[in-house]
Amino acid sequence: MKIAFLIGAIFVACSRIARCDHVDDVILTQMKERQIPGVALAIIHDGKIVREQGYGFADEAHKQPITPETLFQAASVSKPVAALGALRLVEQGRVALDEDINGKLLSWHIPNNHFTENHPVTLRLILSHSAGLTVSGFLGYVVGAPVPSLLQILDGKPPANNEPIRVDQVPGSEWRYSGGGYLVMQQMIIDVTHQPFADYMREAILEPLGMSRSTFAQPLPGSLRNRAATGFTGKPRHAVEGGWRVKPELAAGGLWTTAGDLARFLISIQRLLAGASNPVISRSMTQQMLTKQNGESGLGFFLGGIPAGGGVAKRFGHNGSNVGFDTVTIGLTDSGEGAVFLMNANTDIEVLKNILVHAVIETYHWPGYPSGPSPTPTPIAESPTYTTLFASNTHGAAKAVSASTDALIRNQPMKPNGPLLAPPPILPTFTSLLRLSFLLPSVPSSVGKAFDGQQQ
């Protein structure tokens, strides 16, 4: 089997390295057990990326290794990035969080009905999945197939493959995950800025935050296709036709990115909370973003460790799942810790998230969590093929090293709607991880039946 050959090669590569730490061991074990071709990882410590690396292959057929430049679909981790774009417009006074969003929509309007008669849809409700809007996720489109416009998607008209996005419960009455709501926000941004969404996000968010390898462009431009990972899905594993799905639902799941860029995104949020200046939004707006709105939702992020009396949550993040790609992100608000995992396969992301994040917690001694042994250096074999790989040297230090195409290469992802890790009462063994939940209360089982950031 090709996947078995791939995983075997990875383990051989690890055996050539002087020391593989606990994070390596856990990732490699999970790749083997779950038949995941490639994983990208970025670890944040003290507000800096201290480790960025890839495991396995972006393109298994051509033995193309994952590098820091490898692009993955972020899936629903696109949502908090897009939310930041909307909140920037709020800061500029061009949009208000609590006004009727129909007042800002020009090209399309949410059809009014008895649910909206006395309760308008607002940006705050959309960002916190409380607007009563339908359509949880989107499947995307086969490369080369007709791709609908945003207006066709909003109205569920061919060639769109989704139902119309409509309000079918009183806005603000309850929490329900809605990727459809984020497409309403996408249309609002287009109408307010008079720019294509991808252009606005590049200029207002991606470039200012140093996310130079990321793009909301869909379909993926030809100049970037050779950097994109091939997605795998199904049982037995098979490559997604065309390598990936086209995702015109940009704000809900259309971001192409790297582990390093998503780490820079998390770091920007942490720095804002610490009072650092930022060209995107203010500290007070960031605090709103990370304050509970409904359920475990903030404004774009899912939250953990929510204070009983209100205020900024202790943890923030999002998971994502597009066809062939899964993503995990988590950051701490009161310290500069965090992690990003990207992978080019679909799996049980809620279970895997617990395992992967706990390995990072144990190795890097996150404050407030039980800690394991100190991380050890991770030497990487020399190679002429690529450098700029970051390997963990000590708890807080990192160094650039080289990596061969047959040695470990590192970087990784997250899913959108699961609650975030809370400190376990005791330090469990690795074998007990499948039996323990380190998350806050589970998301309702009705969430997670579709792709685009939904749990499987």
- E-strand ranges in 21-139 read 38-45, 48-59, 64-65, 72-73
* Pick from 8-22, 155-169, 180-194, 229-243: least confident: 8-22
Please give the Cα distance from 230 to 437 (Å, whole number): 31
* Pick from 7-21, 191-205, 350-364: least confident: 7-21
Q: Which helix (H) or strand (E) holds 22?
A: helix 22-34
Please give the Cα distance from 33 to 345 (Å, whole number): 12
Provide CB contacts within 8 A for 50, sequence distance 6+: 43, 44, 390, 392, 396, 397, 398
- pLDDT tens for each residue of 377-433: 333 232 222 222 223 222 222 222 222 222 222 222 223 333 344 433 322 222 222
pTM for the structure as a whole: 0.82
Distance, CA of 346 to chain centre: 14
Provide CB contacts within 8 A for 56, sequence distance 6+: 6, 7, 10, 31, 36, 37, 38, 39, 65, 66, 409
CATH number of 2-435: 3.40.710.10
Q: Give me the pLDDT at residue 58, please.
A: 97
Q: Give me the pLDDT at residue 291, please.
A: 97
SS3 62: coil
Please give the Cα distance from 415 to 318 (Å, whole number): 6
Residue listed under structure tokens 């791709």: 147
Mean pLDDT confidence for 351-370 = 92
pLDDT band with cut points at 50, 70 and 90 for residue 19: low
| DSSP letter, residue 114 | T
Positive or negative, the Cα torsion across 285, 286, 292, 295?
positive
Mean pLDDT confidence for 92-121 = 98
Q: Give me the pLDDT at residue 369, please.
A: 77
Please give the Cα distance from 253 to 269 (Å, whole number): 20
| 164 pLDDT above the threshold of 80 | yes
Please give the Cα distance from 155 to 169 (Å, whole number): 18
Q: Give me the pLDDT at residue 377, please.
A: 34
- Could you give phi then psi for residue 180, rounded to 5 degrees? -60, -35
Average pLDDT of the chain is 82
- E-strand ranges in 336-436 read 338-343, 386-392, 398-403
| 35 pLDDT above the threshold of 70 | yes
Amino acid (1-letter code) at residue 102: N
Q: What's the first-to-final CA gap in the chain, in angstroms?
A: 25
Calculate what percentage of the chain has a pLDDT beyond 70: 77
pLDDT band with cut points at 50, 70 and 90 for residue 348: very high
Mean pLDDT confidence for 113-131 = 98
Higher pLDDT, 109 or 279: 109
| 254 pLDDT above the threshold of 90 | yes
Q: Give me the pLDDT at residue 20, please.
A: 79
Calculate what percentage of the chain has a pLDDT beyond 90: 73
- pLDDT tens for each residue of 433-454: 222 222 322 333 233 334 554 4
Mean pLDDT confidence for 78-82 = 98
Amino acid (1-letter code) at residue 48: K
Please give the Cα distance from 286 to 175 (Å, whole number): 21
Asked whether 420 and 439 are in contact (CB, 8 A), the reply is yes
Peptide bond into 164 cis (omega under 30): no
| CA distances, 358 to each of 26, 34, 208, 421 (Å) | 10, 18, 31, 8
Distance, CA of 24 to chain centre: 21
| DSSP letter, residue 202 | I
- pLDDT tens for each residue of 43-64: 999 999 999 999 999 999 999 9
Please give the Cα distance from 417 to 75 (Å, whole number): 12
| 169 pLDDT above the threshold of 60 | yes
Axis-axis angle for helices 22-34, 349-364 (nearest 10)? 170
